[in-house]
Amino acid sequence: MQVAELDTIDSLADGLCGYLGKDQVNNVRRAYYYAEQAHEGQCRRSGDAYVTHPLAVASILSEMHMDHQSLMAAMLHDVIEDTGITKTAIKSQFGNTVADLVDGVSKLNKITFSSRAEARAENFQKMAMAMAKDLRVILVKIADRLHNMRTLEVLTPEKRRRIAKETLDIYAPIANRLGMNNVRVEFEELGFAALCPMRSRRISAAVKRIHGNRKEIVSQIQTSLEACLEREGLPGRTIGREKHLYSIYEKMRSKRKSFSEIMDVYAFRIIVDRVDTCYRVLGAVHSLYKPVPGRFKDYIAIPKANGYQSLHTTLFGMHGVPIEIQIRTEEMEAMANNGIASHWLYKSSDDLPSNAHIRAREWVNGLLELQKHAGNSLEFIENVKIDLFPDEIYVFTPKGMIFELPAGSTAVDFAYAIHTDVGNSCVACRISRRLAPLSEPLQSGQTVEIITAPGTQPNPAWLSFVVTGKARSNIRHYLKNQKHSESVVLGRRLLNKALASFGSDLDSVSKDNIDAVLNQINLKALDQLLEEIGLGNRMSYMIAQRLAAHSNVAPLEIDSESEQQGTLAIRGSEGMVMNYAKCCHPIPGDPIVGHISSGRGMVIHTDDCNNIADIRDNPDKCVAVSWDPDVEGEFSVELRVELENLRGIIATLATTITGTEANIEKISTVERDARFSIVNLSLNVRNRVHLARVMKRVRLIKPVTKVTRVKSRRVRKVLKSIIGTH
Return d(Cα 595, Cα 586) in angstroms, integer: 13
Q: How many CB atoms lie within 10 A of CB 561?
A: 8
Which residue among 81, 134, 186, 404 is the active-site one?
81
Beta carbons of 411 and 462 less than 8 angstroms apart: no
Q: How many CB atoms lie within 10 A of CB 566?
A: 14
Q: How many CB atoms lie within 10 A of CB 510?
A: 11
Residue 222: name the closest of 359, 318, 123 by CA. 318
Return d(Cα 112, Cα 472) in angstroms, integer: 28
Backbone φ/ψ region at 271: left (φ over 0), alpha (ψ -120 to 50), beta: beta
607 is catalytic: no
Which residue among 82, 250, 404, 505 is the active-site one?
82
Please provide the distance, in angstroms rounded to a whole number, between the alpha carbons at the two ends of the chain. Answer: 81
Torsion angle of alpha carbons 619, 622, 626, 627, nearest 10°? 160
Give the distance from CA 629 to its chain's centroid.
43
Return d(Cα 364, Cα 178) in angstroms, integer: 10
For the chain, how long is the longest CA-to-CA vector? 105
Beta carbons of 415 and 387 less than 8 angstroms apart: no
Q: Please name the amino acid found at residue 525.
A: A
| Alpha helices per DSSP H over 558-704 | 560-565, 649-658, 688-699
188 is catalytic: no
Return d(Cα 208, Cα 257) in angstroms, integer: 19
Query: What distances in angstroms separate CA 725 from CA 66, 610, 611, one per listed residue?
Result: 79, 19, 20
Residue 450 β-bridge partners: 429
Residue 684 β-bridge partners: 636, 663
Query: What distances in angstroms separate CA 128 from CA 103, 122, 136, 379, 389, one per listed residue?
Result: 12, 10, 12, 14, 17
Residues forming the active site: 81-82
